[in-house]
Structure 1
Amino acid sequence: GATVTVDGTPRGETPLTLTLPPGTYRVRVEKEGYEPFERELTLNQKEILRGELKDIAAPTPSLSPLPAQVEEGTQLEITLTAWDNEGVKRLELLIDEAVVYESPGDSLFYLWDTSPVPGEHLLVGRAYDTEGNMGQTEVEIVITRVEMATVTPTTTVPTVTPKPTPPAAQVTVQETEITIPSYPYEAYLREAFDTEYGIPYLWLDRAAYKSASHTLVLKTFKAIILENEYLRLTIVPGLGGRIYKSLFKPTGQNLFYENSVLKPSYWGPLSREENWWLAAGGMEWAFPTDEHGYEWGTPWEYSVGYKEGGITLSLRDTETDRLRVKVDISLLPGRAYFTLKPHIENPTSIEAWYQFWSNTLLTLGSKTVSPETRFIYPTSQVIVHGSGDSNLPQAGETMSWPIYKGRDMSWYGNWVSHLGLFIPQPSRDFVGAYNHETDLGVARIFPRQEAPGVKLFAMGSGFPCTDTYTDDGSQYFEIWGGVTPTFGEYAALAPGEAKEWVEYWYPFWGTGGLDFANRRAALNLDVKEGAVVLGVATTSLERGTVSLLLDGQEIHRETVTISPAQPYRREIPIGASGSFTLRLLGSGGESIAQYEE
């Protein structure tokens, strides 16, 4: 409350009731951050004094830690957040006094391509509240020019012929509609309320649903299309705000699983007879509980923002004052990745416990999961979440990875029943998978300190219950990423606290597998008798050098041009054995990506 003084004497805090004898008094109401309210009051009878304190406190903005100096071409991830006593209305990011991005609310993310701007630069973050008060923070960054280096090949290699240069890079957004055959489940959904989270949810009256006709109907959804020269993302706000499709334009393949129908399954956080999770496909958001959460199938609000030629689609589950989440999906020109920025906030006055996971259903360019699909999870041990294979450890038990009792479980062809796995301590900031039948892979790049949760789920060749979620017998596998290591642990947010992070997702092809991935490249190195096969894919156009080392000595060097539409793959004859290292170097000799066998 605000402090009340009467004739200079403190009398308490608002709301306040005072009993005073008749007379004239000077009443003052004040609170830190607000302009004081003062009035002379003549008291003859009961009086109610009302006044409004004007907010004069500026918001407090904060920029994420940034290096004082970087080389040109570096992609700088800039996060601006702010706090205010009455709430932050909007944020601005300025570079050298020019506004480069604006965002409503108290959080902003901007990816700055420093390639064309060597020199000294001033970054300014500004935050505004509803009264127009402005707070500012700033940081100076020096971008150094990279001198071009001449690279001389040490061996004679085939000539790499780049594909034609694509037209000028751009990102577009459009609204359209999609139609999906659906079972008539909606009439049997009932409303309920979770008092712990303050969140309404829907449950299925399965007894009534079972007794009704199950004739398929065509269900139409509004869809938002984000597109650049490499990716075409289809987002469906009305179906849980999911990314429904991710079309990789160089190959024409859909990265995600796409179910032929919407059919309510028995899976989810409720009882078997109340659950109705739809294995629709794509990438969904599980919140605030585990096992898909409550909001994977309900409508989400959305808005569109623009930055540096790119487009961000912001999805929100709600604007009400309860535990809530926003997910920003961003697409930039000239990049084959899209970024995710989940933002979970607790605007309430009490501590809130929650889980947040992204769950992505994939097939990697085919209708169902190929037995030639390989899962790349950099770890030596996993925790089993659930298993239908009696020859494997069961729920809660640990299992060696990828080899368990002679079975290489990284290959889907060795899965005979359903299996869910958690990685308790990821050793790298990436996971992925590669379909050797379609020659298409996926990589997820994430900050494992901020979002340590990593899970894999697939059904196996002997899974008997595909008819519980589809009509065509198709299967999928799931890559999960979350804020807690497993479903058994919950994260906490203090009152007014928020949590967010940024991760990158991209498809790639033509590498023959995956051993390492970062935001700029995916590498694969296969050693076979008498040769080494190298594979490199990039998320943007890169001109540089591929280098192969044997026991620390370079044995192959090749000047290359690689792009998402044109990966690199070479078989190098080798007459010796040892430890191999594959490196991708930039045009100035800087390291883009490196994998040591």
Structure 2
Amino acid sequence: MINTITGVSLKETKLVIPTYQTGKPEKNPMFLEKRVYQGSSGKVYPFPVTEKILDKKVDQKYNAVILENQYLQIMFLPELGGRIYRALDKTNNYDFVYYNHVIKPALVGLTGSWISGGIEFNWPQHHRPDTFSPIEYRMEKHSDGAKTLWMSDTDAMYGTKVTVGFTLTPDKAYLKLDEYFKNPTSIPQTFLWWANPAVPVNDNTQSIFPPDVTAVFDHGKRAVSTFPIATGEYYKMDYSSGVDISRYKNVPVPTSYMAAHSEYDFLGNYDHEKQAGLLHVADHHVSPGKKQWTWGNGDFGKS
């Protein structure tokens, strides 16, 4: 790929993406307080709930924002929760997050529609309630040549607000995020904030955890395994022979790896054949948890 960008470019454009449409949201309010959703409350009011995905695929036009310098091209879709739709390393033409060429929702989100691929930014819980809804954004230029895309979202259920700035700087090969949270209500509020990048995998893919992560566990710590070499049972799989479960090819079933503590600031994955990958860096004093999830190198995962 020819790098024609000098400095940083930040522009709005239109994208046409094949899209499976959704049915109309339920017109009556649904409360669902007693529904359990990924271990927490499934309540959604006042968000509407979508319960039907249509089989018909159409070409749909989306507003997109592209942030780019000589090293990276980052494409955002503000209409779909502000997710990063594509993240391209221009030096080797490598998509370091999974670039899904089709928008095909599944009913796994808190309010229904959720899509795979890209980077989903989740708050105030799990796969965020408005992950499939438009959010506000604005663009900013800086005196040093850097440019920032600001996106903000107010949660309709709890009234809290998040503002995130995505910044590219000339001559820097990384995307910087600055997050700000506000609670304008009169009562304390809890929240989660996590980035959920999807990455392409193959037999050469390895999960990269810091060297002081020697054990990982399941949601709710229902199962524990040594890491990276598993020597017992994990997710009902027998690894007693000593199996490197950091390697995607060695894990046949859907499996999560959670690390509660590390003195290091990074987490990522690496493709040994392409010699490329994704590295996430965050201050471990502020963002202590580290997690990866695989659908598994088996029939279910491949489907």
Helix, strand or coil at the partner of 1:434 = strand
Q: Any conservation in 2 of the 1:375–1:434 contact (CA below 8 Å)?
A: yes
* TM-score in terms of structure 2 length: 0.83
Match among 355, 374, 382 for residue 216 of structure 2: 382
Give the CA deviation at 1:397: 2.1
The AA in structure 2 aligned to 1:262 is I
Match among 249, 260, 263 for residue 90 of structure 2: 249
Task: Report the equivalent of 1:160.
Answer: none
Task: Report the equivalent of 1:330.
Answer: 167
Corresponding residue pairs, total: 278
Question: 1:187-233 CA distances to partner (integer Å, 9 max, x unpaired)?
Answer: 34667577999974342223xx5xxx612111211001111111111
Name structure 1 gaps, 5 residues minimum: 1-165, 364-368, 387-394, 467-472, 474-597
Give the CA deviation at 1:247: 1.1
Task: Report the equivalent of 1:447.
Answer: 283
State the structure with more CA Rg. Answer: 1
Distance, in Å, in 2 between the alignment partners of 1:331 and 1:352 is 32
Task: Report the equivalent of 1:260.
Answer: 101
Against the structure 1 CA distance between its residues 433 and 463, is the aligned structure 2 distance closer, same or farther, given a 3 Å change threshold?
Answer: same
The AA in structure 2 aligned to 1:276 is S
1:170-569 to 2 correspondences below 5 Å: 170-188=7-25, 192=29, 200-206=46-52, 209=53, 214-269=55-110, 275-279=112-116, 281-290=117-126, 292-307=127-142, 308-318=144-154, 322-363=159-200, 369-378=201-210, 379-385=213-219, 396-405=222-231, 406-464=242-300, 473=303
Q: Any conservation in 2 of the 1:183–1:263 contact (CA below 8 Å)?
A: yes
The AA in structure 2 aligned to 1:377 is F
Give the CA deviation at 1:269: 3.8
Against the structure 1 CA distance between its residues 345 and 403, is the aligned structure 2 distance closer, same or farther, given a 3 Å change threshold?
Answer: same
Comparing both structures, which one devotes a greater share of its residues to strand? 1
Q: Any conservation in 2 of the 1:286–1:295 contact (CA below 8 Å)?
A: no
Distance, in Å, in 1 between the alignment partners of 2:164 and 2:186 is 23
Give the CA deviation at 1:465: 6.3
Helix, strand or coil at the partner of 1:184 = strand
Greater relative contact order, per chain length (Cα 8 Å cut-off, separation 6+): 2
* TM-score in terms of structure 1 length: 0.44
Distance, in Å, in 2 between the alignment partners of 1:440 and 1:190 is 47
1:144-163 to 2 correspondences below 5 Å: none
Against the structure 1 CA distance between its residues 431 and 416, is the aligned structure 2 distance closer, same or farther, given a 3 Å change threshold?
Answer: same
Task: Report the equivalent of 1:582.
Answer: none
Q: Any conservation in 2 of the 1:323–1:348 contact (CA below 8 Å)?
A: yes
Question: 1:329-349 CA distances to partner (integer Å, 9 max, x unpaired)?
Answer: 000000000101121210111
Over the matched positions of the two proteins, sequence identity in percent amounts to: 30
Helix, strand or coil at the partner of 2:137 = strand
* Aligned-residue RMSD, C-alpha: 2.6
Q: Any conservation in 1 of the 2:80–2:132 contact (CA below 8 Å)?
A: yes
Question: 1:536-588 CA distances to partner (integer Å, 9 max, x unpaired)?
Answer: xxxxxxxxxxxxxxxxxxxxxxxxxxxxxxxxxxxxxxxxxxxxxxxxxxxxx
Give the CA deviation at 1:267: 2.3
Helix, strand or coil at the partner of 1:238 = helix
Against the structure 1 CA distance between its residues 447 and 238, is the aligned structure 2 distance closer, same or farther, given a 3 Å change threshold?
Answer: same
Helix, strand or coil at the partner of 1:233 = strand
Runs ≥4 in structure 1, deviation > 4 angstroms? 166-169, 188-199
Helix, strand or coil at the partner of 1:464 = helix
Give the CA deviation at 1:325: 1.0
